[in-house]
Chain A
Amino acid sequence: MNVAIVTNDATQVYQRQVIAGIQNQLQHSVDDIAIINTGEALAHLEPGAFDSVDGVLVIAHTLADDTLLALHTAGVPLTLISHQLPGTDIPAVVPDNAGGIAQLVHYLVNGAGRTRIAFITGDHNQTDGRERTTTFRREIMRAGITLDDALFLPGDFSVDVAVRSVQQALANGLQFDALAAADYLMAQAAVNVLREAGVSIPEDVAVVGIGDGPEAADAGLTTAGINVTQIGIHAARQLLAQLHGSHIRGITRIATSIVHRSSTPQPAHTTQ
């Protein structure tokens, strides 16, 4: 059996870890694992590009919807990773975004007593990005904290965009006592911007992000950690079951857990 992994950039931290998990899980179960680098998001590929493979794993929003639909309709075993195609039941493996964001908001509000929490959003073209923003908004409402649209800063899962947004927020005099980001790399970038501006972390602003990696540890960033390699392993298992004839629909969710570091004060109370 031959399997293809489709990604827009296999050199990125997230993609590298996912691929490692997939390879680890599949190395003794399939004959060949091909990595297809599209070099761009939302790539249009003809289904014929996958003629030589028996199953496909797609990382994030790499393939255009019509390409995914064509593969699905053709009956090619398919697993999406950190992405879902709305209106379809293509199986997927995704981080528990809602759970992770809820953990972070609970941590900041109940553990650190913060009430003006800025949020650096992800890419709203991606399921992960949309879910994380929606959940953050609902958790702020649930906590009884005033919603302020000015506290939503564009990030697009891009460090450069996040840096510009935080710089702009500081220049505008936006008041906030905590900052959460839709991924840990944007949160890490925000830590640098805040420190350069003389903001004391965590005394003035507590900073958190979703996802975790060595960069987060180096930056002392508190995160709702996701074991990204495990996402790859679970995705590989899901695809393997399909290759053996199992009919799977729906989403496998991978739980997050709080990793406390110095970017937040020691929590007084975090029971969630």
Chain B
Amino acid sequence: MHDTRGRGIIGEDARNTKVARMAAKSTRTESRAKNRQLILQHIHAGIADSRAALAHATGLTKPTVGDIVSTLIDEGLLVEAGRGKSTESGGKRPRLLEFLPSARQVIGVSIQRDRIIGALADLNGEPLVHHELPLRDVTGEDPLDLLETVINGLAAQLTSELLCIGISTPGVVDTSGGVVRVARRFGWKELPLAAYFARIYAVPVYVGNDTELATRARLAMQAAEDVRNIVTVIIEDRIEVGFAFAGRAYHHSDDLGKLQLASDDSHGWIDRLGWAALQLQATRLRGNYPQSQLPADWDTIDLLYGLHMGDALCARLYDDIAANLGRVFAWIVGLLRPDEIVLAGAMADLGTALIDRVEAHTRHLLPSGLVDNVAFSVETDATLSLNGALVLSLQNELGILR
């Protein structure tokens, strides 16, 4: 009989020891990566500008700070830029440290309704050049191939080393794993999108839902410091909601475009929220407004212009969409009490004239105390999700822009 017990026990011990060593090493590696991000974050945000100030602000030991700063200088991410003032006790003047945004470049891409847009940016997330591929002429082609040609268009413009790539996509996305759980538009299911492009470009790739990324960008780049909870509602050929809580946790819905808002349309209300419902409502009401100048093939700008020019049909459509949006916003505000609620996507082109009406409807539906501290805004920047992809990648890779 072949006795393996003793050998097995010894082998198990050895394995356990090895696993324990690997775990400790992994913990040390993770810890160093976190400390590195902490240091970059403090310098980038202007909280500390010297080794001593970093040690004081982060709570890390001076040797740890010195070691990581040296590595960051070697990598070109930090530079020493002169000396600061000596301390009150007359200590040595510290060497000042500066973050170098041109040290690497990042690529962000965003799949939109009618095009794929992308940007090559510096390490502050400032776009240096944009590239886009209209989707009208490429129906039926593999979206992965299309994404790749856009990334190639941006990679062609690199003037320093590529650090990482961020991708914004519609659908339900597991951001931490870089996996698209489901994106019905492309028939994607459990697609490891980040891994796919990481293999091609040999850099880290981060993937997020576009509405969630729009919220992330809004929070990171545009919101006031006291705005920590933001909800973004994107309305175009789909409806999605993105959330940012306490500036840390992010979440997103799936497409809510099929949700029915009213059980019947006996009062002439549109029963859904999206673009198609509004167009249907325009067709339904047109006979009541024979003087209307709204063209048959209208878009948001035509509607906005009609409102400016006093067109009664346009005014009615504004009121209808605002009433519906007001109901949805009232639920969101009532449930989540955000600091800011943002309307984005094609519907945002209807401008402040729409959001002012939505706010009035929301106020009418809720106790005033719930609404008083909520800012209502529109975001017409079509690159918001793209900026979010850049922010996501820089947050993950360097720990900055939080």
Contact = CB atoms under 8 A, between A and B. Distances in A.
Interface of A: 87-89, 91, 96, 138, 141-142, 144, 146-147, 234, 237-238, 240-242, 246-255
Contact of A91 (B116, B148, B153, B304): B153
A89 B309 CA distance: 39
A252 B305 CA distance: 31
Contacts of A250: 116, 131-134, 149-150, 153
Given A88-B137, A89-B137, A246 B155 contact: yes
B264 to A, nearest CB: 35
Nearest to B131: A252
Contacts of B116: 250
B156 A141 contact: no
B146 A141 contact: no
A36 B232 CA distance: 52
Contact of A87 (B137, B148, B309): B137
Interface string B107-131: 0000000001000000000010111
Contacts of A240: 156
A248 B351 CA distance: 35
Given A96-B130, A247-B148, 14 more contacts: A89-B133, A89-B149, A142-B301, A142-B304, A142-B305, A144-B308, A146-B309, A147-B305, A234-B157, A246-B152, A248-B156, A249-B150, A250-B150, A253-B131
Contact of B133 (A144, A146, A249, A255): A249
Contacts of B152: 241, 246-248
A264 to B, nearest CB: 24
B302 A241 contact: no
Contacts, number: 77
Given A238-B153, A246-B152, A246-B156, A253 B132 contact: yes
Nearest to A140: B305
Interface of B: 116, 127, 129-134, 137-138, 146, 148-150, 152-153, 155-157, 301-302, 304-305, 308-309, 349, 351
A249 B146 contact: yes
A252 B301 contact: no
A237 B157 contact: yes
B335 to A, nearest CB: 33
18 contacts: A91-B153, A96-B130, A138-B301, A142-B304, A142-B305, A142-B349, A234-B129, A241-B152, A241-B155, A247-B148, A250-B116, A250-B133, A250-B149, A251-B132, A251-B133, A252-B131, A253-B129, A255-B129
Contacts of A247: 148-149, 152
A248 B149 contact: yes
Contacts of A251: 131-133
A135 B301 CA distance: 11
Nearest to B159: A237
Nearest to A146: B309
B153 A249 contact: yes
B149 A249 contact: yes
B309 A252 contact: no
A241 B153 CA distance: 8
Contact of A141 (B138, B150, B304): B304
Contacts of B301: 138, 141-142
A272 B116 CA distance: 24
Nearest to B309: A146
B133 A237 contact: no
8 shortest interchain CB distances as A-B pairs: A250-B133, A241-B156, A144-B308, A141-B305, A249-B149, A253-B130, A248-B153, A246-B152
A99 to B, nearest CB: 9
Contacts of B148: 247
Contacts of A249: 133, 138, 146, 149-150, 153
A248 B134 CA distance: 13
A252 B133 contact: no
B182 to A, nearest CB: 26
Contacts of B305: 141-142, 144, 147
A249 B304 CA distance: 34
Nearest to B146: A249
A16 to B, nearest CB: 22
A252 B149 contact: no
A249 B152 CA distance: 8
A142 B299 CA distance: 12
Contacts of B157: 234, 237-238, 252
A248 B304 CA distance: 37
Contacts of B127: 255
A247 B147 CA distance: 11
B132, B155, B157, B351 — which one has the most chain A CB atoms within 10 A of its CB? B157
Nearest to A253: B130
A4 B304 CA distance: 47
A251 B308 CA distance: 34
Contacts of A142: 301, 304-305, 349, 351
A93 to B, nearest CB: 9
Contacts of A88: 137
Given A144-B308, A146-B309, A249-B150, A238 B133 contact: no
A240 B155 CA distance: 11
A6 B133 CA distance: 24
Contacts of A141: 301-302, 304-305, 308
A169 B304 CA distance: 29
A238 B157 CA distance: 7
A252 B132 CA distance: 7
